[in-house]
Chains A and B, each alone.
Chain A
Amino acid sequence: MPAALRGDVDRSASNSQTTQHALGRFLASVELKAFRIAHAALRHEQDALDAVQDAMLQLARAYADRPAEQWKPLFYRILENRIRDLQRRRSVRDRIMAWLPFAADDDETADPLAAAPSPELPALRRLEIDEAITALERAVGALPRRQQQVFLLRTLEGLDVEQTAHAMGCSQGSVKTHYFRALRALRAELSELI
């Protein structure tokens, strides 16, 4: 093999390692938030984990070579599609299961670690926060799906309007409308709690 080509290959290997490290850091930075977003939409822990895992695999397989600043909207676009697929599949499954007399619930078992209180907060304050989180979770869960996703992408993940529009596959105007409506609904639901 010519030395020039070998040099190109070595440089490519070095770039590849750099990209892989960057991709690892990126995935580590979004995985929990992505899980929270998927869980809000799917309301099922295992389905949410599957959706995030699929999105990670697809991003790594198909888009790792893209510039790093494109990863976040791409990742959430993939996740959004995956969530929609799972919801469709679940809807079909539910319709089939409704016909079966022996259909069983697959309730998630509660994780004792997750339920354990965090030790650094006073009990009363912790209770208030837990109540607020529960109410927020319920209120976010009650939002229409597009509003819910726009709200979480913007508030939790910190995407701007343009990035959110790209991730959701809709216009920026639509993002602004969904976000405004989501905030209004949450304020109406949560203001009494505080």
Chain B
Amino acid sequence: MSAWDSSPEFERRLHELLERQTNAASGHVRSHLTRARHAALLQAGEHRGAWREVLAGRRLWVPAGVLAAVVAGVLLLVPHRAVRSPQSASATAVTAQDVRLLTDRDGLAMLEDGGGQFYEWAAAQAGGPAASGAAANGPSEHGG
């Protein structure tokens, strides 16, 4: 009966052989593993370093910058909407006026005749001071 029949002895012998085989790794393998280890440690260091810098406030400018951008965006959007509301009302008023003009018989006739003069006349009807000169010309030319 050999020593291999005894399980602990067999395991001890296997362990010994495996250890020997492992330690016989080539220089190439050892060098590759050493480089891999250093790369892993470097990465761990960078990962932890980044968090440390955030804690120390060195990288707080990043979240602060994001926060500032969000606040600026909100500030820009809110007044923009507030200013736009009257403009929208004014635009609606002009549209209603346009509808009135279009439903006017004379206006429709002028529209059918075509040409930009109708729009000048319409602007004068709306009471635009710049178009007062055109008001005098527009309807008279159309004979309306």
- B15-A59 in contact (CB<8A): no
Which of B7, B17, B25, B57 is A32 in contact with, Cβ under 8 Å? B25
- B43-A60 in contact (CB<8A): yes
| A contact residues, range | 35 or more
Given A8-B55, A132-B17 in contact, is the A64-B22 Cβ separation under 8 Å?
no
B56 to chain A, nearest CB (A): 5
Which of B21, B40, B43 is A137 in contact with, Cβ under 8 Å? B21
- A23-B41 in contact (CB<8A): yes
In the complex, per-residue mask of B1-36: 1 if CB is within 8 Å of any chain A CB, else 0: 011110100110011011111111111111011101
In the complex, per-residue mask of B30-72: 1 if CB is within 8 Å of any chain A CB, else 0: 1011101101110111011100100111000000000000000
Q: Return the chain B residue nearest A156 by Cβ.
A: B18
Question: Which of the candidate stretches A12-20, A87-95, A98-106, A167-175 sits at the interface with the other chain?
Answer: A12-20
List chain B positions with a Cβ less than 8 A from chain A: 2-5, 7, 10-11, 14-15, 17-30, 32-34, 36-37, 39-41, 43-45, 47-49, 52, 55-57
- A113-B26 in contact (CB<8A): yes
- A111-B36 in contact (CB<8A): no
B20 to chain A, nearest CB (A): 7
- B40-A57 in contact (CB<8A): yes
B77 to chain A, nearest CB (A): 34
A53 to chain B, nearest CB (A): 4
Given A9-B52, A60-B44 in contact, is the A136-B14 Cβ separation under 8 Å?
yes
5 new A-B contacts at CB < 8 Å, known A56-B36, A60-B41, A129-B20: A8-B55, A20-B48, A49-B29, A61-B43, A194-B3
A144 within 8 A of B: no
**How many angstroms between the C-alpha atoms of A61 and B45 in the bound complex?**
9
- A16-B45 in contact (CB<8A): yes
Count of CB-CB pairs between chains A and B under 8 Å: 131
Chain A residues with Cβ below 8 Å from B36 are 31, 49, 52-53, 56-57
- A36-B40 in contact (CB<8A): no
**How many angstroms between the C-alpha atoms of A64 and B44 in the bound complex?**
7
Given A24-B41, A32-B33, A35-B33 in contact, is the A133-B20 Cβ separation under 8 Å?
yes
- A59-B40 in contact (CB<8A): yes
Q: Return the chain B residue nearest A154 by Cβ.
A: B11
CB-defined A-B contacts under 8 Å, sample of 29: A1-B57, A9-B52, A9-B55, A9-B56, A16-B48, A23-B44, A27-B37, A28-B37, A31-B33, A31-B34, A32-B25, A35-B25, A35-B33, A49-B33, A53-B36, A53-B39, A56-B37, A57-B39, A57-B40, A111-B29, A114-B26, A136-B21, A152-B18, A156-B22, A183-B7, A187-B4, A191-B2, A191-B5, A194-B3
